Homo-oligomer: A and B are copies of this chain.
Amino acid sequence: METKEIKSISKAAIRRMPLYLNLVKQQIAMGEKTLSSTFIAEKLNTEAIQVRKDLAATGVVGQPRLGFCAEELAAAIERLLGWDNLQEAFLIGAGNLGAALIGYEQFIENGLNIVAAFDNDPVKIGTEIRGVKVLSIDRLENLIGRMHIKLAILTVPVEVAQHTAERLVSAGIEAIWNFTPTKIIVPDEVIVERTDLAAGYAQISSRLAAKAHRKVAANG
């Protein structure tokens, strides 16, 4: 398996990788051995040049006329994303959103395993959500250390987001996936990714609103 030097990768390219991976796996399942950037671009409604540029970052070398080896590509993307190893995570805040993430089967395919949930609500503590125990938030620091947990999924109410983030950092967490609608401030070495449902909805609603405003303007 010949690979060239790994190139630097843009954040946008990383976000597209799961789309490529799904498609590659789909082709493998259909018995295809190779797939070209042209094919991928057509399926994902994008441009072949972007696909080639993105895939260059995986280090996989394609073959003129044939495209890329599907198996090799799948393995390279999974390695690039770290989806070839299981990642254990704690979920902090066992509310609606937290419970949904625990039940989100897709994560297993991505190598993400939520091993415990934490909450401060005595009613929730001691219960289980789809086999995942809800523990007291008091035990957070101790268990992060003992279980060598690197990733925390933050689904607490926004008011306690910053404070909880600071607890996680003191306990030695390496990465925080922040689902709260605020920006948490942590040291640079801590990896933070914010998945903000409000930000996603803002894209949609602003465009719908712009359309509506234009219509009102046109009708006087």
List chain A positions with a Cβ less than 8 A from chain B.
Answer: 9, 11, 14-19, 22, 44-46, 79-83, 85, 87, 96-97, 99-101, 103-107, 110-112, 150-151, 158, 174-175, 177, 181-183, 185, 191, 193, 195-212
- The distance in angstroms between the C-alpha atoms of A87 and B197, with both chains bound, is 15
Besides A15-B202, A97-B100, A177-B200, 13 other A-B contacts (C-beta < 8 A)? A9-B206, A22-B181, A79-B209, A81-B205, A81-B209, A82-B205, A82-B208, A97-B103, A112-B205, A174-B211, A177-B204, A191-B207, A191-B211
Q: How many copies does the complex hold?
A: 2
Specify which chain B residues have a CB less than 8 angstroms from the CB of A202 in the assembled complex.
14-15, 17-18, 81, 110
- Per the bound structure, the CA–CA distance linking A191 and B87 in Å amounts to 35
Contacts of A97 in B (CB 8 A): 100, 103-104
Complex CA distance for A198 and B175, rounded to whole angstroms: 16
Q: A83 to B175: give the CA distance in the assembly, Å.
A: 32
What are 6 residue pairs bridging A and B, where the CB atoms are less than 8 Å apart in the complex? Answer: A14-B206, A22-B181, A96-B100, A97-B100, A101-B197, A106-B198
Residues of B within 8 A of A197 (CB): 101, 104, 106-107, 195
Contact across chains for A204 and B183 when beta carbons are under 8 A apart: no
Are A110 and B205 interface neighbours, CB within 8 A?
A: yes
In the complex, what residues of B have CB within 8 A of residue A18's CB?
181, 196, 198-199, 202
7 residue pairs, one from A and one from B, having the closest CB atoms: A82-B209, A100-B100, A96-B103, A195-B200, A82-B205, A18-B198, A15-B199
B19 with A151: CB separation less than 8 A: no
**Which residues of the other chain, B, contact A106 by a CB distance below 8 angstroms?**
181, 197-198
Given contacts A204-B177, A207-B191, A209-B81, whether A182 and B96 have CB atoms under 8 Å apart is no
CB-nearest residue of chain B to A103: B96
Bound form: Cα–Cα A177–B201 in Å: 8
* B residues near A201, Cβ cutoff 8 Å: 107, 110, 112, 177, 193
